[in-house]
Chain A
Amino acid sequence: KNEVEQSPQNLTAQEGEFITINCSYSVGISALHWLQQHPGGGIVSLFMLSSGKKKHGRLIATINIQEKHSSLHITASHPRDSAVYICAVTMNYGGATNKLIFGTGTLLAVQP
């Protein structure tokens, strides 16, 4: 079983829809990250959070530490949001580095 699980693996939405991508993890963490990767493109950090909620434009990320769960929401989705969204966690192991453990990603396609 992966330490970081995302759902769904694939998601197709119509333009304008509200989208939710979920991430669950099974280890103690010091931070959780949401990343975005467009087809053939590089990886961009969207959010890093350790508690509560963060918002950037139409994107909202929440985390529940007790339940070991995070969600990424996209409001008023647009075709340019089509990408792979990756959840990653920084394990809380007391080391001197911040190694990440990644989920396998959610492929989102937003149709016009």
Chain B
Amino acid sequence: DAGITQSPRHKVTETGTPVTLRCHQTENHRYMYWYRQDPGHGLRLIHYSYGVKDTDKGEVSDGYSVSRSKTEDFLLTLESATSSQTSVYFCAISGTSVSHEQYFGPGTRLTVT
């Protein structure tokens, strides 16, 4: 299994508070991704990174920001959490654009009350 961890694994927070989720990899992979998974929608890309300090938006990026200061860490921040951001968040990594295969972290279940 690819070495990907996510923290926290579960979190309950209140509307309006900032929240940061962490993805950590030990594979030295270049590409990292944040997805959210919601019933009826499948996985949707929030943000991705193609290198240290290189990030770009995905299809559902509103209300989220990311940072990647080191190859191994990709942080997802909910600037002011809303109930619509209650979801399961998955991080994924990929080595090269040629291989395309992505490896997923275990997920973080976030509940915004």
Q: How many A-B residue pairs have CB under 8 A?
A: 58
On chain A, the number of residues with a Cβ less than 8 Å from chain B's Cβ atoms is 24
Interface residues of B in 55-113 (CB under 8 A from A): 56, 58, 90, 94, 97, 99-107
Given contacts A42-B106, A48-B100, whether A98 and B94 have CB atoms under 8 Å apart is: yes
> Are B107 and A104 in contact, CB atoms less than 8 angstroms apart?
no
Number of residues in B with C-beta < 8 Å to the partner? 24
Provide the residues of chain A in CB contact with B100, threshold 8 Å.
30-31, 33, 48, 90, 98
- The CA-CA distance from A98 to B31 in the complex, in Å, is 9
Shortest Cβ gap from A89 to chain B (Å): 10
A45 closest partner in B (C-beta):
B101
A68 within 8 A of B: no
Which B-chain residue is minimally distant from A31 (CB atoms)? B100
The B interface, classified by DSSP as helix, strand, loop or mixed, is strand
* Chain A: minimal CB distance from B29 (Å): 11
Asked if A100 and B102 make an inter-chain contact with CB atoms under 8 angstroms apart, the answer reads: yes
What mask results when residues 65 to 106 of chain A are scored 1 for a CB within 8 Å of chain B, else 0? 000000000000000000000101010000111111011110
B104 touches A42 (CB 8 A): yes
**A43, A102, A104, A105, most chain B CB atoms within 10 A:** A43
Q: Does A27 make an interface contact (CB < 8 A)?
A: no
Contact check, B101 vs A48: say whether CB atoms are below 8 A apart.
Answer: yes
**Given the contacts A31-B100, A97-B50, A103 and B94 also touching, CB distance less than 8 Å:** no
Inter-subunit contact B104/A44 (CB<8 Å): yes
Contacts of A31 on B, CB cut-off 8 Å? 100
Q: B97 to A97, Cβ gap below 8 A?
A: yes
Whether the Cβ atoms of A45 and B102 lie closer than 8 Å is yes
**Are A102 and B43 also in contact (CB < 8 A) when A43-B90, A97-B48 are?**
yes
6 more A-B contacts (CB under 8 A) besides A35-B104, A86-B42, A96-B97? A41-B106, A45-B102, A96-B50, A99-B33, A104-B41, A105-B42
Q: Give B residues with C-beta under 8 Å from A.
A: 31, 33, 40-45, 48, 50, 56, 58, 90, 94, 97, 99-107
Chain A residues engaging chain B, CB cutoff 8 angstroms: 4, 30-31, 33, 35, 41-45, 48, 86, 88, 90, 95-100, 102-105
